[in-house]
Amino acid sequence: MPRGKLIVFEGLDRSGKSTQCESLVSYLSERGLSVKHRRFPDRTTPIGQMINNYLQGQSEQEDHVIHLLFSANRWEAVAAIEADINAGTTVVIDRYYYSGCVYSAAKNNPSLTLAWCRHPEEGLPRPDLCLFLDISAEDAAKRGGWGEERYEKKELQDRVRQLFTDIRATDDGSDFVTINAGQSLEEVEREIRRHAESCISTTDDASPLRRIQ
């Protein structure tokens, strides 16, 4: 049986990730593909609840600690993700380790460099495709603005976007397909489907899931 693929959505808050992620999952499953939808942070686990409390301002965490909790929240899902992929199910995830790196690094804490932030992610399954929904912080804010969560501020979102741009210039960025998220919902949807279908049909079934190195 061909393995499932690992497809990830990334982008700023309000870039349309969640809507597009749900739309892709329905589209693929309506076409008979076995597909599972996940999101990070997964707020349902005990670690995820700590993250949720932090994001909602109900608790404080030292910058490195919250970074490691976000990473732990991915690691606790790895066995399930791998089991799905090995069983032929494609896993579509709303945010992954790229968000983990850039949001922490955007804090400008001198000991939270992008390189430091990436270390705990090494060894995670590497996506077959990362759909990066690109939008400026200004345009994202026009979509009804951000909510009350930590990180939902213009200056931080600007730095996050810059760091995503920096990542695109590295080896991690070789998995990225950049999609102009300022287009209409239907145009974005069409592009995403095209890339996802091409990933699903062209990834060599014999090739094992790669790891983040």
What SS3 string covers 82-119? Answer: HHHHHCCCEEEEECCHHHHHHHHHCCCCCCCCHHHHHH
Interface with ligand NYM, residue 132, by CB under 6 A: no
- Of 40 and 132, the one with the shorter C-beta distance to ligand NYM is 40
Interface with ligand NYM, residue 14, by CB under 6 A: no
Report yes or no: 97 and 124 within 8 Å, Cβ to Cβ: yes
Q: Starting at the edge strand that comes first in sequence, how are the strands of the sheet with 176-180 ordered? A: 35-39, 90-94, 6-11, 129-134, 176-180
- Of 27 and 151, the one with the shorter C-beta distance to Mg ion is 151
Report yes or no: 11 and 134 within 8 Å, Cβ to Cβ: yes
Q: What are phi and psi of 10, to 5 degrees?
A: -135, 160
Question: Using the rule CB under 6 A, which residue among 9, 54, 103, 132 binds ligand NYM?
Answer: 103
Question: Using the rule CB under 5 A, which residue among 3, 11, 12, 13 binds Mg ion?
Answer: 13
DSSP-based three-state secondary structure for 21: helix
Interface with ligand NYM, residue 156, by CB under 6 A: no
- Of 13 and 172, the one with the shorter C-beta distance to Mg ion is 13
List the x/- string, 58-97, binding to ligand NYM by CB under 6 A: ------------x-----------------------xx--
Interface with Mg ion, residue 10, by CB under 5 A: no
Question: Using the rule CB under 6 A, which residue among 13, 84, 134, 189 binds ligand NYM?
Answer: 13
CB contact burial 95-124 (16+ within 10 A = b; e otherwise): bbbbbbbbbbbbeeeeebebeebbebbeeb
Closest approach, Cβ 197 to ligand NYM, in A, equals 24
Closest approach, Cβ 115 to ligand NYM, in A, equals 16
- Residues making contact with ligand NYM (CB under 6 A): 13, 40-41, 55, 70, 94-95, 99-100, 103, 151
